[in-house]
Amino acid sequence: MVPAADFTVIERTSNSSTSSARWSFEPGRLETQTVEILAGDTVVSRQHQSSVFPLSKFLFVGSTGGIEHFRFGWNRTVVHSKTGYDAIKLSRILGQHTNLAGKPLNAAEQLAVMRPALRAQLIAALDDPSASAASPGFQVMESYFQAMGNSAADEDVALLVRLVSDQRLTEFRGAWQLKLPLAQARTVYDAYTRRLIATSAPAEMAKSHMGGLVKNLGAEAAGLIGPLQLQLLRDPDKRLAVPELVRALGFGSAKNAPMLLAMIKHHGGVVAEIHDQRSRRSIRTYDRQAERDRNIDMIIAAKNGLCLLGPQGSAVADELAAYLVSGALPQNLVDGHQMADWHVTLVRMGWPISRTIKPHNMSGTDGSYRRNIQMKVDRWKPDRC
């Protein structure tokens, strides 16, 4: 039996038209929206709004529709019976006329109250072998992550481990909101890493949003990298799923610098091969585009890791500088402002700024270019890497 509701919310909409002709001078269609909130049989609130679509100007021609249904007609505008704060907005109406435990709650407090129910719904979905990623039970994931805030209980951590381990799920929308202490984050990320190591198509997980968990740790993210993560990072294909973990190597020690440089060279080679195949027309212009983009993401992540390492990466600065001018990378990755970013990284690593040369396609002199690079280095902040 469904329990009696404290409140019943009813929304009614209608859409009528006085004339369907595009060239009619009639007022056009009329839309209405009515929202009622009832406590039992008592009407707590009833609000109504109408919208009409009159001609915007007399004899002014406009267009509607997309490519397949494009058409011309008299241009129309929309006029609402209520605007601004008076306009119907369901979330505001609910906030004005409903409460939990007799006390009006803000959005964060409402989510906190809902957290046990959200947790139970996700557990039920995980326990149901017939449920898919599109099943309603999994659609509350983002609200659950938001409700968790900075305070995950042991049962929340256990549920997160189950979610990131479930083969049905490849996207954890809202995971960028997870701000867990390092110990809890390590438990969750170890489970996620095990899954990536075991899967045959880890690149599909690149858009899982789990990178937010790593980024929110800041410099503590180095504490996530253990034997499991190093195993993942040593695999060129599997690490495509974790650019945020590659960047986090920059919060570690000097021993990470050779690994980051090796990543730049490997993924730079893949991108160069794709560009070469395109120039020789052995593949079409946009063939292997997704693969190219993922490898460029790796190059950028490794560059940012070296930028974070700063002087600790000085041992590989000369080798990196030589690689950048060797022609091994496609020109668009080492030209103009792209090269300026590389130079900021090199100077942060201890490379003499006097050795920087202005890219040919940038204006100004070598002197002004060096002053600009030095200014960026002086104003450097970790979030810029």
pLDDT per residue as tens digits for the range 281-291: 999 989 999 99
List the single range of 93-97, 190-194, 211-215, 350-354 with lowest mean pLDDT: 93-97
Tokens of residue 73, six digits: 């007609």
Residue reference for tokens 């809902």: 114
Residue reference for tokens 């469904």: 2
Rounded alpha-carbon distances, angstroms, from residue 79 to 17, 29, 32, 65, 88? 15, 11, 12, 20, 14
Q: Reduce the DSSP state of residue 99 to 3 states and report it.
A: coil
The full set of domain ranges for the chain reads 8-98, 105-242, 253-385
Q: Which of 250, 268, 251 is nearest to 260 (CA)?
A: 250
Residue 18 has pLDDT above 60, yes or no: no
Residue 104 has pLDDT above 60, yes or no: no
Query: pLDDT band at 85, cuts 50/70/90?
Result: low
Query: pLDDT band at 103, cuts 50/70/90?
Result: very low
pLDDT per residue as tens digits for the range 49-83: 888 877 888 788 887 776 767 778 888 888 888 87
List the single range of 82-91, 311-320, 328-337, 354-363 with lowest mean pLDDT: 82-91
Query: pLDDT band at 348, cuts 50/70/90?
Result: very high
Mean pLDDT value of segment 181-190: 96
What's the pLDDT at 169?
Answer: 94
Q: How far apart are CA 148 and CA 161, in angstroms?
A: 14
User: Are 32 and 13 contacting, i.e. CB atoms less than 8 angstroms apart?
Assistant: yes
User: Are 334 and 324 contacting, i.e. CB atoms less than 8 angstroms apart?
Assistant: yes
Q: Which of 185, 234, 183, 245 is nearest to 211 (CA)?
A: 245
Residue 310 zone, left/alpha/beta (φ > 0; ψ -120 to 50; rest): left
Number of neighbouring beta carbons within 10 Å of residue 238: 21
